[in-house]
Structure 1
Amino acid sequence: MSEESQESPGAPTEENDSAPPPTPPDRIDKNLLRIAFILVLGTFMATVDATIVSVGIDTLSADFGASVTEIQWVSTAYLLAVVTAVPASGWLADRFGGRRTWLAAIGVFLLGSLLCALAWSATSLIVFRVIQGLGGGLLPATGQALLARVAGPGRTGRVISVVAVVPLLSPVLGPLVGGSILSAASWPWLFLVNLPIGAVAVLLARRYVPDVPPSTRRTPFDLRGAALLSPGLAVLVYGLTEVSHDRNLPAVVGITAGLTMLIAFTVHGLRTSRTPLVDPRLFTRPPFGAAALALLVLGASVFGTMFLLPLYFQTGRGLSAWEAGLLLAPQGLGAAAGSVLVNRTIDKVAPRTLVVTGIALIVAGTIPFTQLGHEPPDFVIAAALAVRGVGMAMIGAPVMNIVYSRIEPEHLPRASGALNLLNTVGGSVGTAALAVVLQNRLTARGPDISWAFADTFWWVLGFCLLAAAGATRLPRTHVRK
């Protein structure tokens, strides 16, 4: 990024000697915070919508006369569409510019939201959720890349530490928001609530978010890679989902086909002379490989836990969706507190120190859940969730700062797309895998539901230890600007 683009708006010129001193290039000014707030609105809508429908499954099932298994596809279809869309985010931002791509993604997301509210059957709702998910999948990656481009290397770490808390809060806020809406209105408002938020985001973005030009190096779209990577990920997640539903043939076909397509994409990405949709070589370059592993496992841990705990609270403890959401709230509060801590230390403390400390806190906060069979009191669960929240906030922002601060501005969209893809895949694959483990443990434990959940949380703990192994390869010193 040029020096001019890092100066704050209204910085004095050499001809104006009487003007106040220029804003330091590493200062987080009001303009940057405003841009961050606008872009994070898109991420908020996209990530909350991944979980907001979960509390409305019974309502949708009754209204449409569909089985719970059929209605579950309302959530699964959105997830698969998100996984499908993320890989293309980097190319789209390169080709059309970051702001234009972000605005288009908002438009697709809002169109999908409106259609979902007008759905007349379970099938139509599932189809419209796919449209909504395609827009939602583009928003976090393009928003982060655009924000990093505007902020510049000197400010990326601290501003990302603020916006990165939103994906951590969304799994907690989704059920709470959904429960609140359904207590006062009908189910279409689960989707209509996006329209005013999205409209405000579009108006503000057109006025305040700078128009970052597209890349001067126009690369053709990797059609073969897109035909292998996005469907491969979606089919793999579908196969894992079918395992949890005890449908063996679709599960085997889905997992086998998905893995085959991903292997074929990797070979294609290594051999092609053109720019691949996601370059497999990125993951061999330090510190990108270690950062990718940390985000992959973090996604599995965060979204996997947010899948397990509401289910445990409602089936194991008999809580309502609203009560379950309230019990999950301490994790969101911990994440908010952790983001403040990271914002103040991210430029002073080694990334590895922050990430390893964060993983250690997640491990400490997960251990009580491996003892759910002993029915720990609510205050222990709340304290454990708060500790996990602080730990999660200490991982995402430092990892993204490492990558964004060490990569050329023109490569930011593709790097952001790769990082968000791994986080999304980690969340979806991790959740599907934990659902399989839980189903097996429920079968083995019989009536001991709490112990079945406790057994499954040992796998979450294993994910955390795997992330710790990758984090030890992160840089020991903080990023030099």
Structure 2
Amino acid sequence: MTETTIKIDRPLMRTAFILVLGTFMATLDATIVTVGIDTLAGEFDAPVTDIQWASTAYLLAVVAAVPASGWLADRFGGRRTWLVAIAVFLAGSVLCALSWSVTSLIVFRVLQGLGGGLLPPTGQALLARTAGPQRIGRVISVVAVVPLLSPVLGPLAGGSILAVADWPWLFWVNVPIGLAAILLALRYVPAPPPAAQGAPFDALGAALLSPGLAVLVFGLTELDGGTTTAWTALVIGAGMLTAFVVHGLRTRGVPLIDPRLFTRPPFGAAAFALVMLGAAVFGTMFLLPLYLQTGGELSAFETGLLLAPQGVGAAAASVLVNRKIDAVPPRTMVLTGIALVLLGTAPFTQLTHDPHDALIALSLLVRGAGAAMIGAPVMALVYSRVKKEELPRASGALNLLNTVGGSIGTAAVAVILQSRLTANAPDVPSAYADTFWWVLAFCLISALAATRLPKDRLTR
């Protein structure tokens, strides 16, 4: 492989930067509002449980939107779909800032989530098609670090905004970034022709997959209460997803997401590794801030500062991944990353010994570096092995699984934490320490899936 073959030129890096602005906004907004829950509850004179739906509604809308991203990009083109998604996201942001009640805020968060859910998969597919299989590894190593930064930067940004401004600025902050992204994309991002302009929309698949996922995630988010509604939602959601798989295997048309993708090496192993990574990363970023603010009595801003080393580790490791992703086999890099995540998670199983803040920061630094070495090689591997016409749907499937993995991980550790708090009361650190052992288990399961990734390098 010659150096000119893998050269990353300025136009490609400019395109990557523009597209990553959309992903940054969408992923950051999933966490930035969590810091303002108490503020919003006071503003609208509503219980926290009602305000929490502002975050849940956004998540459900994202999950519902992602499956349609592939068809939309195939039908209307990747750039056009991405631009419309940005516009919808900005419209939702403006309306959220102008909300006059809890109900209006929740409705507008749904609109915002529909646009935000389309941005990462559409942007990644467009970037993969622009870069081509020879360059996608090095480019995706930069882009993939953004979702790892959002759980860290979201609370920090939200706390900083609320320290100097009113709550609407949690949403107004998106407007200048989004407008800049639109103007830059119109000028610099290429517009490849749609891959399957005449393909009919899989209406039955959409009626089963998106609502099924939304109902399933809703059930998971409510599971810690142990209510009949939560279990009913889980059963209905699982049933709809099963029906979608059967439909996807039998239909003669193009399904919204082709279940057969998961039977083709290395897609199945890569997808499963991403699911477990999402569960481990987002599960930890749910547990640790909660522990630091309740057990450690830190403010939201102080918590964000203590969590910042994870973002630093992810950013630093992305530089290494960028340089080595074409030279090191995906299996080697991913297993190394999982080992680092395990190493960085282990100290949190010892919270009963009240670890020093420096140890927590160092552990998060190691976790961030490890996570950056997992996501980018997995995505680059898939994007380099699928056909150009399959890129939008493959990207949608990967992002969907990562999102669902994060939802499952967060819901699972919430349920486990609640049970351990009840069993260990009033020993709160023991309850959190016990729950972190489950996060380690997620990492080990991810390692088993990673052993099935290819031994060969991305480019030879």
Amino acid at match of 1:211: A
Q: Select the structure of larger CA radius of gyration.
A: 1
Which structure 2 residues correspond to residues 250-399 of structure 1 after superposition, within 5 A? 250-399=229-378
Shift of 1:23: 9.2
Match of 1:232 in 2: 212
Amino acid at match of 2:303: A
TM-score by length of 1: 0.94
Match of 1:103 in 2: 83
Distance in 2 between the 1:336 and 1:241 partners?
30
Equivalent of residue 165 in structure 1, options 145, 162, 169: 145
Shift of 1:247: 4.8
Contact 2:220–2:407 (Cα < 8 Å) also in 1: no
Shift of 1:29: 1.0
Match of 2:109 in 1: 129
Amino acid at match of 1:42: G
Contact 2:334–2:450 (Cα < 8 Å) also in 1: yes
Distance in 2 between the 1:152 and 1:220 partners?
27
Shift of 1:216: 4.2
Match of 1:45 in 2: 25
Shift of 1:197: 0.3
Which 5+ residue runs of structure 2 have no aligned equivalent? Answer: none
Deviates more, 1:49-58 or 1:301-310: 301-310
| Secondary structure of 1:154 counterpart | coil
Match of 1:450 in 2: 429
Shift of 1:218: 2.2
Equivalent of residue 433 in structure 1, options 387, 412, 429: 412
Distance in 2 between the 1:226 and 1:216 partners?
18
Q: How many residues align?
A: 459
Q: C-alpha root-mean-square deviation of aligned residues, in Å?
A: 1.1
TM-score by length of 2: 0.98
Distance in 1 between the 2:196 and 2:457 partners?
31
Distance in 2 between the 1:467 and 1:284 partners?
17
Match of 1:220 in 2: 200
Deviates more, 1:98-107 or 1:273-282: 273-282
Distance in 1 between the 2:5 and 2:180 partners?
29
Which structure 2 residues correspond to residues 23-62 of structure 1 after superposition, within 5 A? 24-62=4-42
Shift of 1:480: 3.1
Shift of 1:84: 0.4
Contact 2:317–2:372 (Cα < 8 Å) also in 1: yes
Match of 1:19 in 2: none
Shift of 1:256: 0.7
Shift of 1:24: 2.4
- CA deviation profile, 1:25-76 (whole Å, cap 9, x unmatched): 4201111111100000000000000000011000000010111111111101
Q: Within the alignment, does 1:155 sit opposite 2:135 as a pair?
A: yes
Equivalent of residue 175 in structure 2, options 192, 195, 214: 195
Distance in 2 between the 1:369 and 1:66 partners?
34
Shift of 1:419: 0.4
Q: Within the alignment, does 1:179 sit opposite 2:162 as a pair?
A: no
Which 5+ residue runs of structure 1 have no aligned equivalent? Answer: 1-21
Amino acid at match of 1:266: V
| Secondary structure of 1:40 counterpart | helix
Shift of 1:217: 5.4
Distance in 1 between the 2:277 and 2:187 partners?
35
Shift of 1:374: 1.2
Amino acid at match of 1:409: K
Identity across the alignment (%): 72
| Secondary structure of 2:30 counterpart | coil
Amino acid at match of 1:120: W
Match of 1:208 in 2: 188
Contact 2:270–2:453 (Cα < 8 Å) also in 1: yes
Equivalent of residue 478 in structure 1, options 451, 457, 460: 457
